[in-house]
A and B are shown apart, each in its own frame.
Chain A
Amino acid sequence: MRPALEEIKHLEAFLQGRLPEEEELDVEIRLLWDQEWKQQVTQQQLSYQAIREAGRQQLRQELQAVHQRLFG
């Protein structure tokens, strides 16, 4: 994978609390001084939130369909 994608993967592990302590500390320190990077992290966090919203919409539709099939 290209470096930008590796970084996304790395941040994902950070946001899920799966990084080894030392690497986690590196990320946290960079968050303190690198504003642009901090913005990227915020956007990635928001991405998972967006996926959750989209997922909920889909699951809701699936349950509606189940309801229609069984009791509609």
Chain B
Amino acid sequence: MQTITNPVMASDIREALILDREKTLENIYVNLYPVVLHYVRQRQGTAEDAQDLVQESVMLFYEKVMQQELELTSSATTYIMAVCKNRWRRELEKRNRQQELSPEISEQVGAEEQEEEPDHKLAAFVEQLGEKCSKVLVSFYYLGQRMEEIAEQLNYGTVRSATVQKYKCLERLRKSLAAYTINHFR
């Protein structure tokens, strides 16, 4: 086990996530998971619940930090812990509601809720583009990596050529989604 690292503030953590995502996520995770596990276990949850909760909350945190939507006044772990507590409270409420319903209705509600989940089919369109394109797009737009870094990692000669590639990949993705929009929006 690692020793507890110093709390990291928002601007630093954005930088840290961009420069070394793996290490930074690990630092957050190692502090967070045991606390959440303890919390959830005391409130009718399992280790699996805790794992889900931590991962979803860290993802939410990541997105907010990258989109610069977050003004952290406390450490990252304190913030994510609060998110976890909130989400767990809502999850318990949901489970209790389902228990009150008859088994048939509860099953029906479950099926409907699944349908409402985000459309994972869309991700397949990105994968279809091949590894390099998919990496450029995800690294830049989702993970928030810098073009300099992406160019180097994927062996594009220059930042300029990586940028052009990025738009070419986006163009291919856009074209491939024509079939999807016709089926879903007309």
CA distance A63 to B120 in the complex (A): 18
Interface of B toward A, CB cutoff 8 Å:
21-22, 25-26, 29-30, 33, 51, 54-55, 58-59, 62, 118-120, 122-123, 125-127, 134, 137-138, 141-143, 164, 167-168, 170-171, 173-175, 177-178, 180-181, 185
Pick the contact of B122: A1, A39, A53, A70 (CB < 8 A). Answer: A53
Q: Is the interface of B mostly helix, strand, loop or mixed?
A: helix
A-B contact pairs, 6 of them (CB 8 A): A42-B181, A43-B177, A47-B173, A51-B126, A53-B122, A70-B26
Cβ contact within 8 Å between A58 and B138: yes
Given contacts A5-B164, A67-B33, A70-B26, contact A62 B21 (CB under 8 A): yes
Tell me, yes or no, whether A18 is within 8 Å of chain B by CB.
no
Is A59 positioned at the interface, with any CB of B under 8 Å from its CB? yes
Q: Are B134 and A54 in contact (CB under 8 A)?
A: yes
Residues of A that sit less than 8 Å from B by CB: 1, 4-5, 8-9, 12, 39-40, 42-44, 46-60, 62-64, 66-67, 69-71
Identity of the chain A residue whose Cβ is nearest the Cβ of B2 in the assembled complex? A70
- Contacts A50-B122, A50-B123 given; indicate if A55 touches B55 (C-beta within 8 A): no
Taking the closest CB of chain A, its distance from the CB of B79, in whole angstroms, is 17
With the chains together, A11 CA to B122 CA distance in Å? 20
The winner among A39, A48, A50, A66 for most chain B CB atoms within 10 A is A50
* Chain B hits for A64, CB < 8 A: 55
B137 contacts A56, C-beta separation under 8 Å: no
- Return chain A residues, CB-CB under 8 Å to B168: 5
Q: Is the interface of A mostly helix, strand, loop or mixed?
A: helix
B33-A9 in contact (CB<8A):
no
Q: Which residue on B lies nearest to A63, using beta carbons?
A: B55
Which residues does chain B contribute within 8 Å of A58, judged by CB atoms? 138, 142-143
| Across-interface contacts of B51 in A (CB, < 8 A) | 67
List of A residues within 8 angstroms of B173 by Cβ = 47, 50-51
Contacts of A8 in B (CB 8 A): 167, 170-171, 174
Of chain B, the residue at the smallest CB distance from A69 is: B26
Chain A min CB distance to B29 (Å): 5
Query: In this complex, what residue of B is CB-closest to A56?
Result: B59
**Contact yes or no, A62 B123, CB < 8 A:** no
Chain A residues with CB below 8 A from B62, complex form:
59
Chain B residues contacting A46 (CB-CB under 8 Å) are 122, 177, 180-181
Q: How far is the CB of A59 from chain B (nearest CB, A)?
A: 5
